[in-house]
Structure 1
C-alpha cells in the first residue's frame, strides 16, 4: 500500500472515531486527556487517541568549521518541527492491550521532503496480573538504564529530556525504540521493567573496524538484556506505557529512587596494535532520583538527578546535535558540527535538573510560569577536558497544563579541538530556542 493511501485511511479512521466519541454517553469522557471511545458499558475496554506537536524557533552559534550546504556558517536561525506524534491506546479485553505511536522528529529545512514519518511504537501486551505482571512484544520504549531512557515527551521539564540516557538512540534502535519482548509490573511500591532486545543493523557501518577506538560492530548482533527498577516512596506512577513524566505540575507527590542497566555481548569492535579485530561488551549502568511535589495549592517543585557509567570500549564518543541545523563541516571537528557536542561516551556522567512552578493567573487566566535549569557533566576517556553542558529556561503554561505551553531555553555547550594529541576545550557556544507545544 502506498504511503499516501495509508495516511488517507488513517485520517478517515481518526475522524470517524472522533465523531463516534462525541456521541458517547457521560461514562465515555476522555481519561487523562485525549479522545476516548469506550468499547463496553463501564469503559474498561476502550480506544484512546492523543496527539502532540512541538514547533521550534531557534538561533544556533555554530561549532568551528560548520557548513550549511557547503557554505561555512558561524550562526544561523531556523524554524523546525521538533516532534509531531499521534498515539493510539486500545484496551481490547481485560487482558490484552495494544499501543502504537506514529509521527516525525526533527523536520527542518534540509530534511528529506515528502518523507520522514514513521512508527515509534507498535506493541501488543498481555496482562497475567494487571498490576503485578504483564508480558509484551513489538517495537517499544520499554528499555533499561534510567528514568529518561524513555521520556514522556509531552511533559518534559526542559525542552529535551537528558538524551544521553538514550544511549543507543538511532544507532541500533529506532529513535530509542527497540524490537523487544518485555515484562513489566508493580510489586507494591517497586516498579520494574526488563526486556530482551534484538538490536537493529548499524546503518552505514564499515565492514570492519577502522581504528583502535571502539565503535559499534556490524557483525550479527547478540541480544541486548536490560532493565530499570524504581522504588516509589510516595505516590505511585502509571506504567501503562514506558514513558516517564518529566513534571506533574503539582498534581502528584512523587519520590522515586531508581537504577538500571543495558548489556550486549560483543556489541563493540576495534583494531588492536596488530591490526586484528577485537570485540568488547557494551555495559551501561545508571542510578537516579526523582522528586516532584506540590508546595502549596499553587506552587510545586520538580527535581531530578542521575549518575551513569557507560562502557562502550576505550575511545568511544558520540557527538549529538539535536535537530541539527547544519549539514557538515569543512574539516574534522572533535566535538561535531552545528550544535553538536560529545553527549554520549565511555566514562561517567552526572546530570541534574530542577524546576519551580509559580502560582496561577500569571499573564492570563490560569497561566503558570515554571523556570528550570539543567546540567550535564561528563568525564569521557576520549576527552582530556570534561564536558559540561547547561541549560536555563522557563515554561509558560498558558492554561496551567502541558496542553498549550510556550517555552524558552538557552543551552551552553563546549567545543573541542585536538592540540598535541589531546582533545581539549576550544571555546563555548550557545543555542537559544523558543518552543510552542500543543497536546491533547
Structure 2
C-alpha cells in the first residue's frame, strides 16, 4: 500500500514538472491555418493526451492495486473550403494499459479508430445540416460532453447512456440538424442503430429483454434511432459550432443554461415469449441545468451542473452500467482566486444515484477531487477519489491524471 502511494506521489511530481515545461498560456485559439485573408478558408488541428495512475482498493488477490493507463490519445481536425462547408475528422484510442497493449501494436486495444467523421452544410449563419459518423447526441449535456474540459476527472459514465448499445463509442452514423433561434439552441438527429452492440446476450423465455433489436429483429423493425437536445441560454450564448459541450469555463464568461433531451429507439430491446421475439421501445429523457460564472475580479469562479434522467431500456432491463429506472447526478466546483496565466486550483465534488426497476439496490457514486491548471485546460493535473457502491459491490479508487491539450 505505502509503496503504491509513493509511486503515485512520484508520478504527481513528474507530471507537474512536465506541465510547467510544456504549458502554453498564450494559446490564443490553437493551430489554425488560414488560406485567405478573411479566414473563410482554413484548417485547424487539435491534439490531446490524458495519462493516469490508478489505485483501486478492492481487487482480486492476483491483481495489482496500482496501474498506469493511457486514458485518451486523440487528434481532431476540421476544415472549411468556404463558410458553407465544413468537414471534421476525429481519431484516437482509449484506455491503453498493460491488459490492452499488444507485443507489436497490432492488437485490438492498440488500434486507432475513428470517433467522428462528418460533413456539414451551413444553410445560413444560424442553421446547419450534415451527416456521417457524428456526436450530435440527444438526452443531456453530459451525453455530448467534451473530453477536453471536464470539471470532474471523467464524465459520469451513466450519462453516456447509449455508448456501445446503439452506437460506436457514443457516435452514430446518420444525419443531423443544429442551430439556434436567438438564445434557444437545438440539435436533432436520425441515425442507424448498431447491429452488434455490447449486449450480445440472447433473450430467455419469460426473462428480461436484451438490447439487440437490429441484430434480432432486423433493420426494418429496429434499425433507426432518433435523438435531440435543446437548451436555452439565459446569460452569455454558448457556441454550438461543434457538438462537444464544455464542462467548465473557469469563469471565462457567465453561462446559465437549462436543457432537455431525448433518445428513442423503436423495438431497440427484445424479449422472448414462447417462441416469439417481441420488441420493446427504448426511450430516454432528461432535463438538466448548467451554471458557470466568475466571482469577483480576482479569477475565482463557480461551476455547477445537475440532471434528472428517466431511462427505459425495456421491462426490467439491466446490463453493465445501463438499466431501466432513473438517475440523478450533479457536481460543483470552485476555482480559487489567482492569475489566469499561473497555477489555479479547482476542488470539486460529484454525486450520482441510479435506481433500477430490476433490483432493490441503487448504484451510488460519490467523487471528490481537485484540478490544478497550469495553462487552463491545455495543461492540467487532476486527482480524484471515487467511491461506488451497488449492492454488495464496493469500489474505491484514487486516480491521478495528467493532461496536455494543444
Give, in angstroms, the shift of residue 163 of structure 1: 2.4
Aligned: 1:317 with 2:318 = yes
Structure 2, unmatched stretches of 5+, are 1-25
Aligned to 1:19: none
- Post-superposition Cα deviations, 1:197-250, rounded to whole Å, max 9, x if no partner, equal 101112476584235111112232321011000000001111111100000001
In structure 2, what is the Cα distance between the partners aligned to 1:178 and 1:252? 32
Aligned to 1:290: 290
Structure 1 residue corresponding to 2:369, chosen from 381, 388, 393: 393
Aligned: 1:121 with 2:96 = no
Structure 2 residue corresponding to 1:412, chosen from 378, 387, 400: 387
Give, in angstroms, the shift of residue 382 of structure 1: 2.0
Aligned to 1:252: 253
Give, in angstroms, the shift of residue 379 of structure 1: 0.9
In structure 2, what is the Cα distance between the partners aligned to 1:389 and 1:31? 35
Aligned to 1:349: 327
Aligned to 2:136: 142
Structure 1 residue corresponding to 2:337, chosen from 340, 343, 359: 359
Aligned to 1:237: 238
In structure 2, what is the Cα distance between the partners aligned to 1:183 and 1:31? 31
Aligned to 1:56: 52
- Could you tell me whether the CA contact under 8 Å between 2:167 and 2:197 is conserved in 1? no
- Could you tell me whether the CA contact under 8 Å between 1:34 and 1:51 is conserved in 2? no
Aligned: 1:79 with 2:68 = yes
In structure 1, what is the Cα distance between the partners aligned to 2:202 and 2:392? 32
Structure 2 residue corresponding to 1:45, chosen from 35, 41, 44: 41
Aligned to 1:280: 280
Aligned to 2:191: 197
Distance 1:112 1:290, change over 3 A: same
In structure 2, what is the Cα distance between the partners aligned to 1:181 and 1:57? 39
Deviating more after overlay: 176-185 vs 309-318: 309-318
In structure 2, what is the Cα distance between the partners aligned to 1:291 and 1:206? 39
Aligned to 2:346: 370
Structure 2 residue corresponding to 1:216, chosen from 211, 216, 227: 211
Distance 1:31 1:56, change over 3 A: closer
SS of equivalent residue, structure 1 residue 160: coil
Distance 1:101 1:348, change over 3 A: same
TM-score normalized by the length of structure 1: 0.80
TM-score normalized by the length of structure 2: 0.86
In structure 2, what is the Cα distance between the partners aligned to 1:121 and 1:210? 36
Query: How many residues are paired up?
Result: 367
In structure 2, what is the Cα distance between the partners aligned to 1:366 and 1:161? 26
RMSD over equivalenced CA pairs, Å:
1.9
In structure 1, what is the Cα distance between the partners aligned to 2:54 and 2:335? 24
In structure 2, what is the Cα distance between the partners aligned to 1:204 and 1:349? 21
Give, in angstroms, the shift of residue 314 of structure 1: 2.0
Distance 1:225 1:159, change over 3 A: same
Structure 1, unmatched stretches of 5+, are 1-29, 67-71, 320-342, 416-424
Structure 2 residue corresponding to 1:164, chosen from 158, 162, 171: 158
In structure 1, what is the Cα distance between the partners aligned to 2:74 and 2:302? 28
- Could you tell me whether the CA contact under 8 Å between 1:149 and 1:163 is conserved in 2? no
- Could you tell me whether the CA contact under 8 Å between 1:61 and 1:75 is conserved in 2? no
- Could you tell me whether the CA contact under 8 Å between 1:256 and 1:290 is conserved in 2? yes
Give, in angstroms, the shift of residue 170 of structure 1: 1.8
The 4+ residue runs of structure 1 with deviation greater than 6 A are none
- Could you tell me whether the CA contact under 8 Å between 1:95 and 1:130 is conserved in 2? no
- Could you tell me whether the CA contact under 8 Å between 2:199 and 2:319 is conserved in 1? no
